[in-house]
Chains A and B, each alone.
Chain A
């Protein structure tokens, strides 16, 4: 038995031949439609819109969304989502999954608590890849402290008038819609609403942000200056937005953790291939004890984390998912990736420091995983409060 990228799934009780077939299909898509262009898109600082269209036609965008809106959910289980995340990560550029699949965070609040009219209007073009939807929660004043966000929407007859700004918005440069958290009421979580804002409304402006990694994913600061939004754009109840934001988090953290396992596997695969080929002191690198021990240690960390990812995924599917588990899982996954990316870089040596190597890119993208979607510190504090500290 030798190491390969796909071996982990073969001995797992959660994955069968339908997961393999879907993985195969998505891998074909990535090989043909993504790999030849990814370096260009990284340089362009965004994905082309045609890619969303192609991903829709390939059945990737609509996976696990209702048929009536152009999605397909027949036969879906949560592990199909896991293999799609795994395959999208294989190209070694985290911006791909982040930006191509932004609807995975922008659309669910609308489908969960939005009006039927809004679902019919927004979901089909998004799932068809014709429109891009983003999620706007974080502000310059703070990210994880959602309950204290400052962007304000004031009711004026049939409209809301929105003022404020959003920060670090994934797909923020290109998005047509943004599911936006705004303050419509008093202080705290009970004063927050979700508002669908069309980005071509007068008073909306945006600035692209340059980042350490995720280069092919456009990220923006977005400004609202007396933006007039019809009241029917309210998603769910006024001042009832906090729940809509929170209900998404388990799956988002699960997806991030799965992505970390996949990126770590890419690192290990790159390091292992290099270690078998590169000769030093008369034998392949992998023939040196210090190197093969390092590789085995990487495989050990990935295997343990993947096992917990799969178990949490199963719990979520069974309706038994606990927020504390997903918060801790995300920390487990990002710390694992940080270590594995480092070890891969050590095995590859100078080659890992050159731009264009997958390990170089993943190494840079460790930070966005460890900070985005809830920083490690916030995650552990959340878990600690739930498990040990009461709600104080």
Chain B
């Protein structure tokens, strides 16, 4: 089985994002960028399936600017076998990404696509679901545990009430949640090996996909500043205060 793992280059999770002065978006100039953390989990899960003999090849895909090559090299250094960069400098929305991925799936014929449940920049949480719909495949989202059987995959999902297990027929779409695994760190020998692994360069036009945005961002603002807390003398004052606020 071949596994397709889409990865996204996003603002590093440790960076405190700053909103551009004109409110048109987040300032990305000179900001550290890394692989979306949920996608690291996807890459790790694909590698584990390969190590367990459930898959033969892992193909990493990214849709984004030329710099997204670095993100793909990270995936290759972790253990993916080859990579495809669909290069575009435009902002791509989940639907456009899902359409491009559908075209790649049709060309590559993978048995499984593992995606992060969402990217930490726009938190859309849509690409996996849209891809499943476009392909007509089963989807197991927010995966906590996955187990590949004979032509099927069991996905234990993180849902509000606890865990739910679904069985899907392969080929299928899985989106990863935080507790699925702990991604490995790329070691130097694997970083060096990744340099010589194949990385194909494509454009959205190669797949006949129009990436023009369907949405308009009207305004981006900083979240409101947290007010400083107040230290109260005793429990009576606390109760009085809570009553005053109408919460007790």
Tell me, yes or no, whether A binds B: yes
Q: Which residues of A are in contact with B by a Cβ distance under 8 Å? A: 1-2, 4, 6, 17-18, 20-22, 24-26, 28-29, 31, 57-59, 63, 72, 74-76, 80
The contact size tier of chain B is: 10 to 19
Q: Find out whether the CB atom of B30 lies under 8 angstroms from the CB atom of A18.
A: no
Q: Find out whether the CB atom of A25 lies under 8 angstroms from the CB atom of B186.
A: yes
CB distance from B42 to the nearest CB of A (A): 16
What 0/1 readout, one digit per residue, does chain B (188-227) give for beta carbons within 8 Å of chain A? 1111101100000000000000000000000000000000
Residues of B within 8 A of A4 (CB): 30
Cα A18 to Cα B189 in complex, Å, equals 10
Residues of A within 8 A of B188 (CB): 18, 22, 59, 63, 72, 74-76, 80
Residues of A within 8 A of B195 (CB): 18
CB distance from B203 to the nearest CB of A (A): 23
**Chain A CB within 8 A of B187 CB:** yes
Whether A26 contacts B192 in the complex (CB less than 8 A), given A17-B70, A31-B14, comes out as no
Residues of B within 8 A of A29 (CB): 185
Residues of B within 8 A of A57 (CB): 184-185
Residues of A within 8 A of B191 (CB): 18, 21-22, 25, 75
Q: Find out whether the CB atom of A25 lies under 8 angstroms from the CB atom of B185.
A: yes
**Chain A CB within 8 A of B168 CB:** no
Contact of A26 among B30, B73, B185, B190 (CB under 8 A): B185
Residues of A within 8 A of B77 (CB): 21, 25
Q: Find out whether the CB atom of A28 lies under 8 angstroms from the CB atom of B185.
A: yes
Contact of B187 among A2, A17, A24, A25 (CB under 8 A): A25
Residues of B within 8 A of A1 (CB): 30
Residues of B within 8 A of A72 (CB): 187-189
| Residue from the set B14, B30, B185, B190 with the largest chain A CB neighbour count within 10 Å | B185
Nearest neighbor of A7 in chain B, beta-carbon distance? B30
Contact of A75 among B14, B184, B192 (CB under 8 A): B192
Interchain residue pairs with CB less than 8 A apart (26):
A2-B30, A6-B32, A17-B73, A18-B188, A21-B186, A22-B188, A24-B34, A24-B74, A24-B186, A25-B77, A25-B186, A25-B187, A29-B185, A31-B14, A58-B184, A58-B185, A59-B185, A59-B186, A59-B187, A59-B188, A63-B188, A74-B189, A74-B192, A75-B189, A75-B191, A80-B188
Q: Which residues of B are in contact with A by a Cβ distance under 8 Å? A: 14, 30, 32, 34, 70, 73-74, 77, 184-192, 194-195
CB distance from A247 to the nearest CB of B (A): 24
CB distance from B24 to the nearest CB of A (A): 21
CB distance from A17 to the nearest CB of B (A): 7
Residues of B within 8 A of A25 (CB): 77, 185-187, 191
Cα A57 to Cα B14 in complex, Å, equals 23
Cα A21 to Cα B184 in complex, Å, equals 14
| Residue from the set A1, A17, A29 with the largest chain B CB neighbour count within 10 Å | A17
Cα A291 to Cα B34 in complex, Å, equals 32
Report, nearest first, the 7 A-B pairs whose CB atoms are least far apart.
A59-B187, A75-B192, A58-B185, A74-B189, A25-B186, A21-B191, A72-B189
CB distance from A299 to the nearest CB of B (A): 16
Q: Find out whether the CB atom of A21 lies under 8 angstroms from the CB atom of B73.
A: yes
Cα A26 to Cα B194 in complex, Å, equals 17
Nearest neighbor of A54 in chain B, beta-carbon distance? B185
Contact of B192 among A2, A6, A18, A31 (CB under 8 A): A18
CB distance from B16 to the nearest CB of A (A): 10
